[in-house]
Amino acid sequence: MNQVKNTKDLRSYNKKRIIDLLRNRELLSKADIAKSLDVSFATASNLCNELLEERIFLTVKKSSITGGRPSELICLNPASRVSVCMDFTYLNVVRVLLVDLHNRPMGEISVPLRNDRSLQETLELCMEGYRGLLADAQLEHEQILGMTVVIPGLYDTQTGGVLNSTLSLLDHHNLESVLRQYIDTTIFIENDANLAALAVSMQGEAQQEANVIFIYIGEGLGMGLLTSEGSVFRGARGFAGEIAHMPLGDMEYECYCGNHGCLEGVLSNSGIECQLQGQENAAMEAGNKLGILLSILINMTDPEAVFIGGDHEGFIQDMLPYAQREAGRRILLQRYRDIPIRITLNVHDLFYQGASELLIRHWLMK
């Protein structure tokens, strides 16, 4: 969080700490909160009362759960603050979702993508749908933390443009400047694989892991990388993780970029579909290519875990044993570090979860 300069900042800082604590704990007493955050009971109680007045927290009587003498417990009101996610990772629709403080969807609409519509016309329909979602959920604009736009491509942090997207509608447009015509809020534009990496780092066995790689095999091939602090590594201009054109594929494949042998020709939806039609051992061949890629990435970045997700989930699961075996052969000092390589399902859910988490962290850091 930002540097604490005065008493007002300190109160805000401690309130955000309490909110963050309650995001990961279902029910706590004020005494538990004071102990967990090493503040006085009076401080914890006063701040909790403020958060109750703001309806960010709710109270539950312990006797209603366990019986016995009533006592007051505090829980988060997840719908008190909401993130907006605009997801461009589908070929035929844009998905607009409202997501709560537990990164769960509260409502969504889909806007069809059509060749006869411009980007501005598409965004106008998305914002019309967003306003309808807001009305249906009876939310005020002040409850919105911001909007994250999920893109299948690279976001140039210097120019604000979208580059090398698998969705041509987005290429070379400054999405933020167009969206600012419709909404006055925090806006993030973020790559899909980056958001998936952020989402998987918070789930299940990976909840305590910071150095995480996420490989997304979709219309293209992308990678998200988290640093040791758990933040997305974007590079100097936002281009980090561009692995699609590494020359590890079939050298007879001529890529749209003008080169031959780009890995995206194997590890992408079209690449997988082509292999399934033409090869008996498609999963083995693709899995070996993926294993070589993973060994390079692991040797370079030394992650705690690697996750793989994509649209062809069954095929990716078939690839996994071959990828693990090939990577294991090539990872330096493998016997000293057991790096799990896991499949994640329902990859599009990770996009809105990561989109929400990005905005929540921004809010808590202010």
Q: How far is Cα 73 from Cα 58, in angstroms, rounded to an integer?
A: 8
- On the question of a common fold for 80-195+350-365 and 207-348, the answer reads yes
Three-state SS string across the chain, please? CCCCCCHHHHHHHHHHHHHHHHHCCCCECHHHHHHHHCCCHHHHHHHHHHHHHCCCEEEEECHHHHCCCCCEEEEECHHHCEEEEEECCCCCEEEEEEECCCCCEEEEEEEECCCCCCHHHHHHHHHHHHHHHHHHCCCCHHHEEEEEEEECCEECCCCCCEECCCCCCCCCCCHHHHHCCCCCCCEEEEEHHHHHHHHHCCCHHHHHCCCEEEEEECCCEEEEEECCCCCECCCCCCCCCCCCCCCCCCCCCECCCCCECCHHHCCCHHHHHHHHHHCCCHHHHHHHHHHHHHHHHHHHHCCCEEEEEECCHHHHHHHHHHHHHHHHHHCCCHHHCCCCEEECCCHHHHHHHHHHHHHHHHHHHC
User: pLDDT tens digit string along 140-149?
Assistant: 989 999 999 9
- Judged by average pLDDT, the poorest of 2-6, 34-38, 261-265, 334-338 is 2-6
Kindly indicate whether the domain formed by 80-195+350-365 is annotated with CATH number 3.30.420.40.
yes
* Domain 207-348 fold: Nucleotidyltransferase; domain 5 (3.30.420)
Rounded mean pLDDT, 213-238: 92
Cα–Cα distances in angstroms (integers) from residue 51 to residues 76, 126, 180, 291, in the given order: 9, 32, 30, 49
Q: What pairing do the DSSP bridges indicate for beta strands 187-191 and 212-217?
A: unpaired
Q: Is the pLDDT of residue 206 over 60?
A: no
Q: Is the pLDDT of residue 15 over 70?
A: yes
Rounded mean pLDDT, 126-149: 95
Q: Is the pLDDT of residue 71 over 80?
A: no
Question: What are the boundaries of each domain within the chain?
Answer: 7-76, 80-195+350-365, 207-348
pLDDT confidence of residue 4: 55
Q: Is the pLDDT of residue 209 over 70?
A: no
Rounded mean pLDDT, 323-337: 89
pLDDT confidence of residue 366: 79
User: pLDDT tens digit string along 235-289?
Assistant: 999 999 999 999 999 998 999 899 999 999 999 999 999 989 878 899 999 999 9
Rounded mean pLDDT, 60-73: 65
Rounded mean pLDDT, 335-350: 91
pLDDT confidence of residue 70: 58
* Domain 7-76 fold: Arc Repressor Mutant, subunit A (1.10.10)
Residue 222: other Cβ atoms inside 10 A: 27
Q: Is the pLDDT of residue 307 over 90?
A: yes
pLDDT confidence of residue 139: 94
For residue 65, name the pLDDT band (cuts at 50, 70, 90). Answer: low
For residue 68, name the pLDDT band (cuts at 50, 70, 90). Answer: low
Mean confidence (pLDDT) of the chain: 91
Q: Is the pLDDT of residue 231 over 60?
A: yes
User: pLDDT tens digit string along 28-51?
Assistant: 999 999 999 999 999 999 999 999
pLDDT confidence of residue 229: 80
pLDDT confidence of residue 265: 95
